[in-house]
C-alpha cells in the first residue's frame, strides 16, 4: 500500500493545488519575472520570521543551511557553545567541528529542556571569548521545544552570536527573531511550509553579517556575501535556484498570511495537544513533559513487548500510515508522530485509529477507540 498518511516530522504532505502551481512551465531565473518572485518571497518570509534581518534562499536541505550558518559566522579556533539535547543539536556541533571551530559541547537530557543555570555558568566562564551559541529550537528527534528567548538573554557579550535551527518550528511555534536577538535563523521547505524538500531559508542579523566579513572558513556555494551582493545589485540568486519551490513558497506564504500566522501556530498547538491527550488515553507513555513539548511532533515510548519495526511495517503496509522511529540514543526506544504543515484533525484521527488497530493486532492490551474518542472530545471540548 502506498503512503496515505505521512505522519513524519518532515517531509510533510503537499496539497495538490501547490503541486499544480509548482508544475507550471520553468522560466529564466535571470529575467524580471524571477526578480519579482524573489522580492515577494523575501518580504513575506521576513513577516513569517518576524524580522527586518536580511533573508536568503539556498537550494539545499536544512543541513546545508546549518553549514552555511557556521562557515559564514566563524573562523578556525573560534570558541562556540553547542547546546545539545538531541541528534540535530549534535549535528550543528559536528558541522562546526569539521571546520576546526573550538566547540564546547553542553549536553542536556534527551527529552528534557536545558538547565538554564548550567548554561549561564558556561557562558560566564568564557565571557567575551565565546563567539557563538548553536541551538535547535524544536529538537525534532525528541519533540522538545527549547527556550530560545531565555537562552539569548544569558549572553554576557554583545559579540556572541546566537545561531538557531528553526527547521521544525518556523510557522508552528512563536519565533520572534528580532525581539529575541537571534542572529542567524534557518528553516526548510519540507516542514511547516508544506513544500517538497530542497529549499532552505536563512536570515542573518546585521551583527552576523559583520561576522561574515571577518570569517576565514572556506566556502564557495555557501558564501553569504555572494548571495547578498546578487540580491542587492540584481535581485537575483548567484546560482540556479529551484524555481518551482519558489513559486510554491510564494503560494504558501500568501496562504499563511491570509489565515494569520498566529492562527496557524494556534492550530498546531491544538493538534499537538489533541495527539498527546489521545496517546495518554491509550495508556502509552510520552517521552517529554507538556511544558517542553513542541507543536510539531510527538515522541512516544515503544510499549513493552512491541517490536517497533513490525509495528511500523503494519502501519505502513496495511494502513498506509508512515510514522518515524527514534534517532541516535533513542533508536528503537521511541516512535514519533509528526503533525505539522497541512495537518488537520481528521488526519490525526486516522493515524490514531491505525495505531490502535496495529497495537491490538500485536497483542497490546488496549480498548479500541479510546485514543480516537479522547482526541475527538479534546477537539470539541478541550481546545
- Find out if CATH 3.90.1150.10 is the number for domain 5-10+260-382: yes
Helix and strand totals (H; E) in the chain = 13, 13
Long-range pairs, 206-213, Cβ under 8 A, ≥24: 206/53, 207/158, 207/159, 207/161, 207/183, 208/53, 208/72, 208/73, 208/161, 208/183, 208/184, 209/54, 211/72, 211/73, 211/74, 211/131, 211/161, 211/183, 212/72, 212/73
Instruction: Determine the Cα–Cα distance for residues 331 and 268; give it in Å rounded to an integer.
Output: 26
CB 81 within 8 A of CB 124: no
**Tally of CB atoms within 10 A around 158:** 9
**Domain coordinates in residue numbering, the chain:** 5-10+260-382, 16-258
Position 68 scores a pLDDT of 98
Position 3 scores a pLDDT of 83
Position 1 scores a pLDDT of 67
Closest CA to 82 of 128, 49, 114, 117: 114
Position 382 scores a pLDDT of 63
**What number does CATH give the domain 16-258?**
3.40.640.10
Say what angle helices 370-377 and 345-361 make with each other, to 10 degrees: 160
With cell 551559541, the residue in question is 133
Q: Is 91 annotated as a binding residue?
A: no
- Half-sphere exposure of 104 toward its Cβ, with a 13 Å CA cutoff? 15
Instruction: Determine the Cα–Cα distance for residues 370 and 65; give it in Å rounded to an integer.
Output: 42
Position 383 scores a pLDDT of 57
With cell 521545544, the residue in question is 145
With cell 552576523, the residue in question is 208
- Averages of pLDDT over runs of 10 residues in the chain (383 residues) are 90 97 97 98 98 98 98 98 98 98 98 97 96 98 98 96 98 98 98 98 98 98 98 98 98 97 97 98 97 98 97 97 97 97 96 98 96 95 68
Position 239 scores a pLDDT of 98
Amino acid at each position: 500500500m502506498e503512503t496515505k498518511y505521512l505522519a513524519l516530522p518532515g517531509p510533510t504532505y503537499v496539497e495538490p493545488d501547490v503541486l499544480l502551481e509548482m508544475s507550471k512551465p520553468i522560466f529564466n531565473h535571470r529575467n524580471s519575472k524571477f526578480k519579482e518572485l524573489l522580492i515577494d518571497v523575501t518580504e513575506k518570509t521576513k513577516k513569517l520570521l518576524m524580522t527586518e534581518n536580511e533573508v536568503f534562499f539556498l537550494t539545499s536541505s536544512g543541513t546545508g543551511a546549518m553549514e552555511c550558518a557556521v562557515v559564514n559566522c566563524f573562523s578556525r579556533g573560534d570558541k562556540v557553545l553547542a547546546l545539545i539535547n538531541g541528534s540535530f543539536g549534535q549535528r550543528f556541533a559536528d558541522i562546526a567541528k569539521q571546520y576546526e571551530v573550538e566547540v564546547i559541547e553542553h549536553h542536556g537530557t534527551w527529552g528534557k529542556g536545558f538547565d538554564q543555570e548550567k548554561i549561564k555558568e558556561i557562558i560566564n566562564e568564557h565571557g567575551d571569548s565565546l563567539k557563538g551559541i548553536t541551538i535547535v529550537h524544536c529538537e525534532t528527534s525528541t519533540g522538545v521545544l527549547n527556550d530560545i528567548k531565555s537562552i539569548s538573554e544569558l549572553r554576557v557579550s554583545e559579540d556572541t552570536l546566537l545561531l538557531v535551527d528553526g527547521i521544525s518550528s518556523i510557522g508552528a511555534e512563536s519565533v520572534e527573531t528580532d525581539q529575541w536577538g537571534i542572529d542567524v535563523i534557518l528553516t526548510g521547505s519540507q516542514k511547516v511550509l508544506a513544500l517538497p524538500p530542497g529549499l532552505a531559508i536563512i536570515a542573518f542579523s546585521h551583527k552576523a553579517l559583520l561576522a561574515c566579513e571577518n570569517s576565514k572558513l572556506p566556502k564557495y556555494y555557501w558564501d553569504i556575501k555572494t548571495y547578498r551582493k546578487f540580491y542587492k545589485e540584481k535581485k537575483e540568486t548567484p546560482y540556479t535556484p529551484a524555481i518551482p519551490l519558489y513559486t510554491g513558497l510564494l503560494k504558501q506564504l500568501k496562504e499563511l498570511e491570509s489565515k494569520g500566522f498566529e492562527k496557524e501556530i494556534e492550530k498546531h498547538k491544538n493538534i499537538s495537544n489533541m495527539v498527546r491527550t489521545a496517546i495518554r488515553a491509550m495508556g502509552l507513555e510520552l517521552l517529554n513533559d507538556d511544558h517542553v513539548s513542541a507543536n510539531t511532533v510527538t515522541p512516544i515510548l515503544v510499549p513493552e513487548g512491541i517490536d517497533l519495526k513490525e509495528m511500523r511495517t503494519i502501519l505502513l503496509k496495511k494502513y498506509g500510515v508512515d510514522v518515524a522511529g527514534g534517532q541516535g540514543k533513542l533508536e528503537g526506544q521511541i516512535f514519533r508522530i509528526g503533525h505539522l504543515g497541512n495537518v488537520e484533525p481528521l488526519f490525526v484521527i486516522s493515524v490514531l485509529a491505525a495505531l490502535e488497530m496495529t497495537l491490538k493486532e500485536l497483542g497490546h492490551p488496549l480498548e479500541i477507540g479510546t485514543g480516537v474518542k479522547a482526541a475527538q472530545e479534546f477537539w470539541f471540548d478541550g481546545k
